[in-house]
A and B are shown apart, each in its own frame.
Chain A
Amino acid sequence: MPRLLSGFLRHRTGAAGLFITLFVLAAVFIGPSLLPFGPEDMDFMATLAPPSLSHWFGTDSFGRDVLARVLAGGQVSIFISAASVILATSVGCTMGIVAGYHGGWADASLMRIVDLLFAFPAFILAMLLMVLFGFSTLNIVLALALVYLPIFARISRNTTMLIREEPFVQASRLMGRRPLAIMFTQILPNITAPIMVQASVALAFAIILEAGLSFIGLGVQPPTPSLGGIMADGREYFGRAPWVLTLSGSAIAFALLGINLLGDGIRDMTDPRLKERI
């Protein structure tokens, strides 16, 4: 692990991604306790105030500190997207490995489900699921997980099929070990690299998707602060107070930049062919 970390620090974009991501996490989880304002604190004397030393991101129409709301919304957003990606990864990979290892009808039926989910554009599917499930934080997690599950199922199935015929997998089979044991001890450790990379990409997309759902009112419901909600508010007053929309949007962009660079770093570090050149 220390070797991986030192390699990471030598990889310039990967290191930048790691630092940005850590900074964002620190801001989101420690930041609110350092701010003098809570996300719900209203100050009617200072509605739609421009950015200043006391309100770095300005205030919204209720006089609430936008920075405090962005950080609180970010916390919710990161929880939701992380939970949904973890759920999507575990369920998707299980499906993919089982399908890839057994082949035949197991493969055919599991992959048809995946194809069905793949057929919808991500945002349309998420909207559909939210309408079907009803609005609650748990349901957002479930909807996002369903949207990203097919990618993980596909990747793990394909990589499993590639290594299924490898001698070490056959050797394990020849020992008389059960299929489930082979999948977990032989296959899973060898397909984690592409899944890790995909997970970091999916995390970034899940943040956008969650913000998008909240933006159109299908996501986290007020008064819980959410990144999409803040931006939707900001759009209404964009003429008078452009900082609400632009600064909250920039905050999301900054976080996504960090996660994407981190993903690039993970990809380069785990691909031995690329590793040589760094």
Chain B
Amino acid sequence: MSQPIVSIRGLRVAFRSGSREVEVLHGVDMSVNKGEILGVIGESGSGKTMTGLSLLRLLPDNAEVKAEEMRFDGMDLLPLSDTQFFDLRGVQMGMIFQDPVGSFNPSKRIGWHFEHVMRQAGVPHGRERTIHLLEDVGVKRAAETVDLYPHQLSGGMLQRALIAMVLALRPTLIVADEPTTNLDKVVEAQILELFLELRRKLNAAIIFVTHDMAVAASLCERIVVMKAGDVVETGTAREVFTAPKHSYTRRLVDTAIELSSPKNGHAHRASERETRAAANGSAAEPLFRVRDLSVTFPGSRMRAAFTALEGVNFEIRSGEILGLVGESGSGKTTLGRTLLRLYEPATGEIIYRDRDIAHLPERQLRPLRHELQMVFQDPGGSFNPRKTMGASLAEALRVVGCPDAQVHDQTVALLERVGLTATHAGRYAHELSGGQLQRAAIARAIALKPSMIVADEAVSKLDVSVRAGILDLFEDIQAETGMAMVFITHDLDAARFICDRIAILFHGKLLEIGPTEQVFDSPTHSYTRTLLASQGSLAKLIGASV
């Protein structure tokens, strides 16, 4: 094996805050060979991004970096001054970030960025060259794209443009930090393909930071697993995924596989629900009946009105989990919010319990509100930052007329029901983790005794290891209370794991709706097939490589 292009030994990073110093990396070792893709996986807070940033010297001023060794291409990086390092970064070391939008200057055209970067690096530049580069990464109509501004491109296109820019400099090392996390599955597959091509063309080493096991398994040759600032395991992708040595790695892999396997005990639960429904005698009557629903957002002088949903028809039965699946921009979130009447539809009917609520004014809607609840995507924003969890839950309990004397006991009972403890009642949102916040958000929703909960991408911002726990909680609570649930997600694994029925949305239209197994096993629409094909589930990937 050749000499590694990057070798890091004993990397420690600490942040100063006032007189305190917090160490976030406790001696990280890793090395990458030429032409190798090294996956760095771990959950949020594991220090995987920090490692990449400290290699590129992009940490903020209050960070202190210490290392026993940090070599790049035979060169010792530690004694280099910032000016010397500047010549290296962006030229021999390329970087691609999670958020492509932030990597571009919003007031400059795409072409300007290419000119700027290429001139600085002293490589041949010019309009023709830029167009050629964009075409190389699969940008259609590249000649037009050069003259567009960043906000006129989609996330996927911008990420392509960024990769093209890195490609132009022909770096020997590329650090990519979650480059596909903000992208849709179909686009993600294309971008990953692009990375493989990048490696083939440049023979560059790639450090690929990701939290997505399936992405890591499909792309990387070697894997570094990080946890809380330490490397817990290093090995080839096959070793790490099929025979994980460290218990933490095993848990990560197991959770990912569990999530991607079809709903276990599904048939059993379904029959259980039928008996319950029959007992209630409400099997025939759906909770929601949506007829010909269209939602438009008004345009302004600058833009035309935007039709987010068009002629959507479906029903929600009481006590079922209905998945709304689609890519970003498909209208799934709009649909969820319109059901809750956070948006008013342009046309159509939303019949909830024999009453059309589509155009009900806010005042008449208010008494109904608590019956329809929502769990939001962003756990951090779900709670008032100035209130404790207890205060937020108490607010919900008072709305449904819980007597003051019982509020405390009820709060504790709710917290315990969702797997938290009474001590969490005194905490503020920033003192809880994403998973704990999402549990508290579920507690707040069930405090109001709703007949339906809309969960909008409720697990997509959570780490893999807590995701399964939250999905299980949703399932338990749903089974226990018998309420209906609308589960909005772009994650097919999560949808398959939890949903009884699935509706596929695309560009504001509902393409198909049916029982989960039916949609997954015999999709009727060609788009659904494309979507399903893009899904690289870890179980499948490992199964293929074993």
Contact = CB atoms under 8 A, between A and B. Distances in A.
Nearest to B379: A167
Contacts of B386: 189-190
B442 to A, nearest CB: 12
A174 B384 contact: no
A278 to B, nearest CB: 7
- Chain A interface SS verdict (over half): helix
Contacts of A158: none
Interface residues of A, number: 20
B366 A171 contact: no
A189 B406 CA distance: 26
A11 to B, nearest CB: 11
Given A189-B386, A190-B384, A278-B18, A171 B369 contact: no
A185 interface: yes
B385 to A, nearest CB: 6
Contacts, number: 60
Interface in B372-387: 372-374, 376-378, 381-387
B342 interface: yes
B374 A176 contact: no
A170 B395 contact: no
A166 B62 CA distance: 31
Nearest to A272: B430
A175 interface: yes
Q: Which of A166, A170, A174 gathers the greatest number of chain B CB atoms within 10 Å?
A: A174
Interface residues of B, number: 31
B379 to A, nearest CB: 9
Given A10-B18, A174-B372, A168 B367 contact: no
Interface string A225-269: 000000000000000000000000000000000000000000000
Interface string B384-401: 111100001001100100
Interface residues of B, dominant DSSP = mixed
A177 interface: yes
A168 to B, nearest CB: 5
Contacts of A177: 395, 399
A189 to B, nearest CB: 4
A276 B369 contact: no
Nearest to B385: A190
Contact of A174 (B17, B18, B370): B370
Nearest to A172: B395
Contacts of B372: 174
B381 A168 contact: yes
A185 B395 CA distance: 10
Given A176-B368, A176-B369, A168 B342 contact: no
A272 to B, nearest CB: 9
B340 interface: yes
Given A172-B395, A175-B395, A176-B399, A167 B382 contact: yes
A166 B381 contact: yes
A13 interface: no
A201 B395 CA distance: 35
Contacts of B18: 10, 278
Contact of B378 (A167, A176, A277, A278): A167
Contacts of A170: 342, 374, 376
Contacts of B424: none
Contacts of A175: 369-370, 395-396, 399, 448
Interface in B342-379: 342, 365-370, 372-374, 376-378
Nearest to A188: B386
B439 interface: no
Contact of B381 (A167, A173, A277, A278): A167
Interface in B439-495: 441, 444, 448
Contacts of B374: 170-171, 174
A186 interface: yes
A191 B353 CA distance: 39
Interface in A75-111: none
Interface string B428-446: 0000000000000100100
A62 B396 CA distance: 68
A176 B370 contact: yes
A190 B383 CA distance: 11
B17 A276 contact: yes
A174 B373 contact: yes
Contacts of A190: 384-386
A189 B90 CA distance: 44
A194 to B, nearest CB: 14
Interface in A157-186: 166-168, 170-178, 185-186
Contact of B383 (A168, A189, A277): A168
A177 B365 CA distance: 11
Nearest to A175: B399
A186 B342 contact: no
A267 B463 CA distance: 34
Contacts of B368: 176
B364 to A, nearest CB: 11
Contacts of A172: 395
A53 B378 CA distance: 66
Nearest to B386: A189
A24 to B, nearest CB: 29
A189 B386 CA distance: 7
Contacts of A176: 365-370, 399
Q: Which of A10, A166, A178, A190 has the most CB of B within 10 A?
A: A166
A168 B369 CA distance: 15
A174 B365 CA distance: 10
A168 B384 CA distance: 6
Contacts of A178: 366
Interface in B305-343: 340, 342
A132 B354 CA distance: 60
Contacts of A185: 384, 395
A277 B368 CA distance: 47
A173 B342 contact: yes
B274 to A, nearest CB: 30
A166 B383 CA distance: 9
Given A189-B384, A190-B384, A190-B385, A171 B376 contact: yes
Contacts of B387: 189
A167 B17 CA distance: 30
A170 B385 CA distance: 14
User: 10 smallest A-B Cβ distances: which pairs?
Assistant: A176-B369, A167-B376, A189-B386, A167-B381, A176-B366, A167-B382, A175-B399, A168-B384, A166-B381, A176-B370
25 contacts: A167-B381, A167-B382, A168-B382, A168-B383, A168-B392, A171-B441, A172-B395, A174-B340, A174-B370, A174-B374, A175-B369, A175-B370, A175-B399, A175-B448, A176-B367, A176-B368, A176-B399, A177-B399, A185-B384, A185-B395, A189-B384, A189-B386, A276-B17, A276-B62, A278-B18
Interface of B: 17-18, 62, 340, 342, 365-370, 372-374, 376-378, 381-387, 392, 395-396, 399, 441, 444, 448
